[in-house]
Amino acid sequence: MSKPKIIYCHCAYAQVVPKEVKEAVLRKLCEANVPFEAVADLCESSARRDPSLKRQVESGQIKIAACYPRAVKWLFAAAQAPLAPDATEVLNMRSQTADEIVERLLQPDLKSNLPTSQESGPKANQSAPL
């Protein structure tokens, strides 16, 4: 099986992803001399239904360096490029270190981690009453 494809989001238009993390991830990807797809901002790509997203999803296994897996899952769905739960690993540049992220991106194996319906958290009708 071929290596998972890599997508990197630069989250260009907000300050929510630490600059030092996203720059370190991008720099290390460049230095590793691996092929990858970089989007200026995954939110904008989703809003535009960028065909690049669909092309990447259809190519097989995929690793995405962006933000929270739940947000990434539904950004791709909104772009009409739904991610395959068993073929997607999302690395979170808001909460993980650059070293952790790059290590996972460059490993040939894939640890799928898209949240399922149950894993998105308790539902309102399941929570304890006030």
Residues 27-66 that bind another protein (CB under 8 A): 27, 29-31, 33-52
What distance lies between CA 82 and its chain's CA centroid?
12
Q: What are 124's two structure tokens?
A: 């309102």
Compute how many other C-beta atoms are within 10 angstroms of the C-beta atom of residue 33.
Answer: 6
Q: Does 93 bind another protein (CB under 8 A)?
A: no
**Nearer to another protein among residue 29 and residue 110 (C-beta):** 29
Q: Does 18 bind another protein (CB under 8 A)?
A: no
How near is the Cβ of 78 to another protein at its closest, in Å?
6
Which of 1, 2, 109, 127 touches another protein (CB under 8 A)? 127
DSSP state of 31: H
Q: Who's near 32: CB < 8 A, 6+ residues apart?
A: 102, 106
Angle at 12 between CA 116 and CA 120, to 5 degrees: 15
How near is the Cβ of 27 to another protein at its closest, in Å?
5
**Nearer to another protein among residue 27 and residue 111 (C-beta):** 27
Count of chain residues binding another protein (CB under 8 A): 56
Q: Does 23 bind another protein (CB under 8 A)?
A: yes
3-state secondary structure of 54: helix
Rounded to an integer, what distance in angstroms lies between the CA atom of residue 101 and that of residue 86?
19
Which residues of this protein are in contact with another protein, per CB under 8 A?
Answer: 10-14, 16, 23, 26-27, 29-31, 33-52, 67-75, 77-78, 94, 115-117, 119-124, 127-128, 130
